Structure 1
Amino acid sequence: MFVLVRHADAVAKKAWQGPDVVRPLSPLGHQQSAHLVDALADVALSALFSSPTVRCRQTLQPLAVARGLPIVDDSRLVRDAPVGALLSALGRCDDGTLWCTHGEVFDQLAAAATAHSAARFLPTGKTAKGGLWIVHPDRGPRYVGPNPRT
């Protein structure tokens, strides 16, 4: 089993003056990130991997504190990284790892899942900001929407 999380709601791109990599969560996003603790309360997690952007790391922060797990930056989760390396890692993943990334990466994963008949272990539907997929390779993905919703 592994978990895929789309980062929670962030400050609007148009309202942000700095580099996108440091664009933080919005107040709604902070509420959504806190909800992950409850949403994943019954899920055994072994590691937390994140895109190195501030908004992805902030999404995982409450969960990291609650579980006593470090957040590990992973360049395979950035928006413009080739999806092949991430697909390879996820294909071998059944150890309770959680991966936090961006909507663009979810779109690439969905396209790859469809193209490679991998829908049994990769999400193919849309993922809202702050939403997540709990993926059991033998049972397929289960979507959990964000709370509160955007």
Structure 2
Amino acid sequence: MKAETAVYAAGAVCWRIIDGRMHVLLIHRTVHGDVTIPKGKVDPGESLPQTAVREIAEETGLAIALGVPLGISRYLMPNGREKVVHYWAGEVSDQALQRSTFKPNGEVAALEWVTVKRARSYLSYAPDVEILESFAALVDQGVTSTFPLILLRHGKAVSRDSWKGEDTARPLSRRGVEQAAALVETIRAWHPTRIVSSPAVRCVTTVRPLSAANGVEVKLDARISQDAWTHGDADVRRVVGKRVRSGRSAVICSHGPVLPDIVREIALATSTPLGSYVTDAAELEPGGFSVVHLSATNSGSGIISIETHAPRA
């Protein structure tokens, strides 16, 4: 099967607690007469996280923030093409329910909240059941409620050789500016409520479009700057500790040499054994980012999951 023939899609297992029990949202499709997990195909120019959030909104009327990635389904469609679907978990807040815009339509006839046990027998397709089992494993571990720390390396900057001023004032290149713009809609899929950045111009310029789109002020912190790291004045531990304790979604924008220390401190703050999967999260190209998912209810349960995204521009 050639990669270019595959159809890519994304979705989420939407969940909430009803009467003290975990429930997930299933959709009853109008034309197909089946029961599935909400998902849909990637539109041109979209990232997979962006697709997942958009499709959930279109099919269910619910605005969600993505949680832990749950895996990938691969199967053949009736026309013989492979379909590749990426899934995340997505908690549905009371506010999202109150603001739901869902009405039965030509694509989705009904929505139904059911227990995980009942969903296993309701779902029409085996790949959906496999994704549900990935979510059920999180439920069994007690780590469904999570929050993300998004570790972002600044966009591509102009070269040191071509820049005559101080390094902290070195700006983004044209490509870096494009990367900063391309990041916005993808990172918004996790609904960051805080943005912390090195004061270097190349970092601040990278997060400025996201700040404007989300209405979240950028907090500058020299303790995660490359200058502080070079001179031995960095204090990554305090910056990371505050973000872990807050339990709120945040973007941390810093530099290539500093990112390994940031990841290490997240691991230490959450009692996560250090290993290659942790250190790999810091090996980012300019404009790339890693999403580190942490438990919102048990900070000592370790890093739940890490997903890494390459720059899109």
Q: 2-side partners of 1:112 and 1:48: how far apart?
A: 18
In the TM superposition, what whole-angstrom CA distance separates every residue of 1:57-110 from its partner, at most 9, and x where no partner exists?
000011111111111101221121143323423442530111100001113335
| 2:215 is the counterpart of 1:59 | no
Match of 2:245 among 86, 92, 97: 92
Q: 2-side partners of 1:110 and 1:3: how far apart?
A: 11
Moved more, 18-27 or 131-140: 131-140
Residues 63-74 of structure 1 mapped to structure 2, 5 A cutoff: 63-74=210-221
- Give me the CA root mean square deviation: 2.3
**Offset at 1:43?**
1.2
Match of 1:31 among 150, 155, 178: 178
- Pair 1:114–1:106, CA change in 2 (3 A): same
**Offset at 1:113?**
6.7
Find runs of 4+ consecutive structure 1 residues off by over 2 angstroms: 82-94, 107-120
Matched AA of 1:129: P
Contact 2:290/2:307, CA 8 A, preserved across alignment: yes
- Secondary structure of 2:152's counterpart equals strand
- Secondary structure of 1:136's counterpart equals strand
Contact 1:114/1:124, CA 8 A, preserved across alignment: no
- Secondary structure of 2:189's counterpart equals coil
Matched AA of 1:27: R
Match of 2:194 among 43, 47, 58: 47
Q: 2-side partners of 1:61 and 1:100: how far apart?
A: 11
Matched AA of 1:97: A
| 2:297 is the counterpart of 1:140 | no
Contact 1:123/1:133, CA 8 A, preserved across alignment: no
In the TM superposition, what whole-angstrom CA distance separates every residue of 1:109-134 from its partner, at most 9, and x where no partner exists?
355678874459x9411111111111
| 2:257 is the counterpart of 1:104 | yes
Larger Rg: 2
Q: 1-side partners of 2:261 and 2:195: how far apart?
A: 21
Match of 1:83 among 226, 230, 236: 236
Structure with larger RCO (C-alpha < 8 A, sep 6+)? 1
User: How many equivalent residue pairs?
Assistant: 147
Moved more, 73-82 or 28-37: 73-82
- For structure 2, list consecutive stretches of 5 or more residues without a partner in the other structure: 1-146, 296-303
Contact 1:3/1:135, CA 8 A, preserved across alignment: yes
Q: Which residue is equivalent to 1:124?
A: 279
